[in-house]
Structure 1
């Protein structure tokens, strides 16, 4: 957008790219698995990653959050390799390369070992369901922000270590039959709310900050009647809503409880929640849709999503092949006007359907974007 349009208009996107190392090697050796994504990023030839890059090149967002891009601290073999070897190279004769000179990434809770038996299987092995966020190695299912505008890194706030117990009225999971808390007292005192993290990333646009509020809450499934993942998903999203509301109980990873004071913001991410999902705790997405500061009126759609489930009149809103609206770009009411948007999901007869035909082609999620116009406050 920035290359071809007035600087008062910007395109912001989110894309769960399903780029974790376990997708590229299945030999069972975890240490090798952790390096598998790095090897594919350096090659420039992986078909799935090439398709992801082509989708980004065709949509051309100015700012994009990538979910499920493994956290690799050394950016030269991580996100910078993706930009250099894939995005900076035209993937097809009718696509142009694209560059993102500004990047933000940080550690996440997924796969980071805890000392606890969170999943109550009798073994505290520090990974999978016993990690601070579900994952088999540190950094799995990470996230990263790419921007064509400068990032004010000194003012970035992360909330990886915020403890669930510190949220007033937290939905503490219980075993229905006994009423016993799922997590022991020691576990509850230590438990981190964010399955990955929550980020407030100020991006300087027209000399002022546009706050990208990035999240990827845990899926509200893969648990039992205690609904520990459903409750966690709800409260992760509540943390975002309460942060916008300036609730004083929230503190960041620097132990600052300074309230959010941004004017223009965009929420982006795979939130793993839907008002139409039976797994989502009722009222979860309403925390954002009905928030006084959020403009949730515009709903991105696609004809491909509609074709994926012709029996559902809401299918055009879906952002995942498993027939749900799970991915969101939600702007502030102040300072921004939505002028368009969509979901990249071509119909089966379209020549670009090859990019989304199945999970191996690119991802089980679709890129979602909004076009926003700057409005003077």
Structure 2
């Protein structure tokens, strides 16, 4: 009897060890699945190299560049993405191309799915892109230059053709397209206490009146590109990717129409993520929407709003960075940024022209921030070739944050 019992124990032991090993592997997999790297990258790929190609600016130029894997600037962009290897990535300034098979899918196929300089190829099985206001024509003279030109300064967002400076979200986790929300057509006038630009005090007899006519103001869209809420299902937990690319607060005049717009574009997202403050917001389906308590979110994009330095504008980015719902505790930095300027805070720069302009800001709820960085190699690094000038890749750097989902 004793021998049979021992035999049974020895027979069962391998199965017990196997089960324990499986549990250990499952625990490791769960731990890996809880780690999420989120990044934003203004790739400056609107009509990449159209001047060098001798072509007029058009989304078709980018299609041509993406039709093969031969463009060096785009190869460098792909190499940067492969080196950082984020799980979720927002691309700013990637022209909107309705036919994804000749747009973003070709970028993935011909560049990201191909090893660049020995790096492991990356793949993104889930993509979100949509229309934007840049280059979307109007019949108004929005820049008040005396001409109704439809495009450029008279478009809903500055652009020479529809879709210029577009946005794309790439994800290794499923995107819930059915519940994605866009805010491209939200009217600026529908924001309470909007910062409506005024004519300069000393420039005209109409000083003190509104920059936009009543008819223009009634139709003018707030978002210069679009604002997106893209839900991503990360192993059963929803992460709201809140993406935007507000207009630069310059390239205007004393009326500060771009500066006021930049402020209110950032405010729209700040109000949207704050329960009980975004009741006025409606999406492109006409539904009044905002985030709920205890929604996980990550704000991503080129916000064109510095947090310190000579390009800083008071009370703009603070709408997000000082929100009690946003975790801005770990500021991404780089040695290359520190080297690029004598300012003691330049290590946080994300653009070569000297500012923290690009942000990845997670919610306080649902995440622990583990690490963060800006891809900006120093001049003595072999990788400096990837960022040495705008033609190498972009005038912006990729910014990333690693999170643990709670």
The 3 A distance-change label for structure 1 pair 27 and 356 is closer
The CA RMSD over aligned residues, in Å, is: 1.7
Residues 130-149 of structure 1 mapped to structure 2, 5 A cutoff: 130-149=154-173
The 3 A distance-change label for structure 1 pair 5 and 136 is farther
* Partner SS state of residue 201, structure 1: strand
Per the alignment, residue 23 of structure 1 pairs with 49
Per the alignment, residue 135 of structure 2 pairs with 111
Task: Kindly indicate whether the alpha-carbon contact (under 8 Å) linking 1:220 and 1:280 is maintained by their aligned counterparts in 2.
Answer: no
- TM-fit CA distance, 1:176: 2.4
Task: Kindly indicate whether the alpha-carbon contact (under 8 Å) linking 2:306 and 2:313 is maintained by their aligned counterparts in 1.
Answer: no
- TM-fit CA distance, 1:24: 2.5
Task: Kindly indicate whether the alpha-carbon contact (under 8 Å) linking 2:59 and 2:96 is maintained by their aligned counterparts in 1.
Answer: no
Per the alignment, residue 191 of structure 1 pairs with 220
* Partner SS state of residue 19, structure 1: coil
1:237 aligns with 2:262: no
- TM-fit CA distance, 1:43: 1.8
Q: Which runs of 5+ in 2 are unaligned?
A: 1-27, 202-206
Match of 2:301 among 269, 289, 293: 269
Match of 2:254 among 210, 215, 225: 225
Q: Which runs of 5+ in 1 are unaligned?
A: none
Task: Kindly indicate whether the alpha-carbon contact (under 8 Å) linking 1:20 and 1:68 is maintained by their aligned counterparts in 2.
Answer: yes
Which structure has the larger Rg over C-alpha atoms?
A: 2
* Partner SS state of residue 43, structure 1: coil
Task: Kindly indicate whether the alpha-carbon contact (under 8 Å) linking 2:189 and 2:217 is maintained by their aligned counterparts in 1.
Answer: yes
Task: Kindly indicate whether the alpha-carbon contact (under 8 Å) linking 1:319 and 1:326 is maintained by their aligned counterparts in 2.
Answer: yes
* Partner SS state of residue 334, structure 1: coil
Residues 1-377 of structure 1 mapped to structure 2, 5 A cutoff: 6-21=32-47, 23-25=49-51, 30=56, 33-93=58-118, 95-177=119-201, 178-246=207-275, 247-261=278-292, 263-276=295-308, 278=310, 281-309=313-341, 311-375=342-406
* Partner SS state of residue 225, structure 1: coil
* Partner SS state of residue 21, structure 1: coil
- TM-fit CA distance, 1:22: 5.6
- TM-fit CA distance, 1:26: 6.0
The 3 A distance-change label for structure 1 pair 3 and 36 is farther
Q: Deviation string for 1:342-376 (max 9, x for gaps)?
A: 0000000001000000000000000000000011x
Task: Kindly indicate whether the alpha-carbon contact (under 8 Å) linking 1:234 and 1:281 is maintained by their aligned counterparts in 2.
Answer: no
When normalised by structure 1's length, the TM-score is 0.95
Aligned residues: 371
Task: Kindly indicate whether the alpha-carbon contact (under 8 Å) linking 1:43 and 1:85 is maintained by their aligned counterparts in 2.
Answer: yes
* Partner SS state of residue 65, structure 2: helix
Task: Kindly indicate whether the alpha-carbon contact (under 8 Å) linking 1:234 and 1:280 is maintained by their aligned counterparts in 2.
Answer: no
Task: Kindly indicate whether the alpha-carbon contact (under 8 Å) linking 1:355 and 1:361 is maintained by their aligned counterparts in 2.
Answer: yes
Task: Kindly indicate whether the alpha-carbon contact (under 8 Å) linking 2:320 and 2:326 is maintained by their aligned counterparts in 1.
Answer: yes
- TM-fit CA distance, 1:4: 12
Q: Deviation string for 1:47-100 (max 9, x for gaps)?
A: 00000000000000000000000000000100000000000000112x100000
* Partner SS state of residue 20, structure 1: coil
